[in-house]
Amino acid sequence: MRFCLPIQKAYRVAQCKKPHTIVEELVLPAAVDTVTIMVGEDAAKQLLKVPLSDSTISQRMEDMAEDINNQLICTLKGKDFALQLHERSSWMKLQTTTKTPILFVISFSWLSLGNSLHRVYVLRHEIYSYLHEEEYRLADKCIDPDFIARLAILCNIFEKLNILKKSLQDCNTNILQLSDKVDGLKKKLIHWKTSISDGNCTCFPSLDQFLKENEMVLKEDLRTVIVQYLTQLHIYLQKYFPENEVEPMQWVRDPFSAEMPPRFTNQEVEQLIDISTDKTLKMRFQVQSLPEFWCKTKEEYQEISTRALRILIPFTTTYLCEAGFSAVAVIKSKYRSKVNIEREMRVAISKITPRFDELCKEKQAHPSH
C-alpha cells in the first residue's frame, strides 16, 4: 500500500499544479502532526516510511504522464480525431533563471473586461444618481452623463457577448451549433440597431435604467455612435463567420429532409438515400445526439458516417488551448525553471485518469523506489 501513496500524492500535486517539494515540505509534516495528535507517535512514524521526496514525486509524475499518453494512443488508434493548434499575435515572455523565455498566450477575456466595465459603470452611476439636486450642476462638469450612458451600453453588450462565449465553451459543441448561436447574435445586432435608432433602449437594461432614473433622453449624436458601433460589430462577425458557410453541412444535422449536398461520391449519395428512407433510424435520430447517431450508423453506412463525423469532430473554440496556456503560466515560474512542462501539463489537465493499480504493481517489485 505504501508504494501507492507516492503516486496518489503526485497526482494531487499535478492536479493542483504545485511544486513537487510541497509533499515533503508541507503535506507529510502536516499528516505526521495530525496522526501524532489523533492516533499516537507510533502510527505517525509509519508515515515517515513512505517515500515522498522531490525525486520520487517527479518520477511518479513521469510514470503517470507516460501511462496517460499510452492510454490516449490506444484510444486513438484506427479512429478519426481532431488536433487543435492555436496561435495568437499577443505574447508575453516569462524569463526564467536559465534565461530561456517561455512564451504563452495572453488570452483576451470578454468576461474579465466586461466585469471591469461593469464595476466602473456602477461606481459612476452611483456617484451621479445619489447627488442632491443642487449638486447636479457641479456633477455634470466632473461626471459626463453621456460617458456614463456609453459605459452602460458597453456593459450590456459585453454581458451578451459573455453569454455567447460561455455557451460556446461546452465540450460537446460542434460547428453547426456554434454557427446557430453566432447567427442568432447577428440577428440580435440588427434588432438592437433598429431599437436604438427609434429611441427604444429597453434592449439594454443598464442604459434604460440610467436614463429613466435621471429623466434623460438618449441624445441623437449618442444614438448615432451606438448604431455605428453595433454596425461595426456586425461587420466583423460577418467577416469571421460568413453566412451560408455551413449550409452544405445541413445534411449532417438532418439527413432525412436536407437537400443532397454537392461533390459526394456515388456511394455516399446512395448511403445517404438509404438513411433518409429508414424509419427506424429516423426514430433513433430523434432521441440521440448527432455524434452518437452517426457513430451508431458507421458500421452499416461507413462512408457517409465517416464524412459526417469529420464535420462534427473538429474543435469549435480555442477554450482548451487557453486552459493549457493558463496551466503553463501557473506551473512554469522562475522557481520551477527546470520542470518538465510537457509531462506536468499532461497530468494536470488531461481528462484521462492514470491507471493507479497497474502503476502500483510495477513499483512493488522495486521497494527501494
CA dist 205 → 192, 202, 211, 302 (Å):
12, 6, 10, 51
Residue 320 and residue 160: Cα distance in Å, rounded? 22
Amino acid 128: pLDDT: 59
Q: Please identify every stretch of the chain with a pLDDT value under 50, giving residue numbers as ranges.
A: 1, 88-111, 134-136, 138-141, 365-369
Name 11's Cβ contacts closer than 8 Å, sequence gap at least 6: 60, 64, 347, 354, 356
Amino acid 340: pLDDT: 67
Query: pLDDT by residue (tens digit) across 177-205?
Result: 888 888 899 999 999 999 998 888 888 88
Cβ–Cβ < 8 Å for 294, 305: yes
Whole-model pTM: value is 0.61
Short-list 316, 315, 343, CA closest to 327: 343
Amino acid 338: pLDDT: 67
Amino acid 94: pLDDT: 34
Q: Is 232 exposed, middle or buried (0-12, 13-18, 19+ CB in 10 A)?
A: exposed
Short-list 347, 274, 342, CA closest to 305: 274
Q: What is the DSSP string of 169-189?
A: T-TT--HHHHHHHHHHHHHHH
How many CB atoms sit inside 10 A of residue 16's CB?
A: 10
Query: pLDDT by residue (tens digit) across 104-133?
Result: 233 334 445 555 566 666 666 555 565 555
Short-list 208, 227, 286, CA closest to 254: 286
Domain boundaries, given as residue ranges, for the chain: 4-86+339-364, 110-240, 247-312
Residue 144 and residue 222: Cα distance in Å, rounded? 13
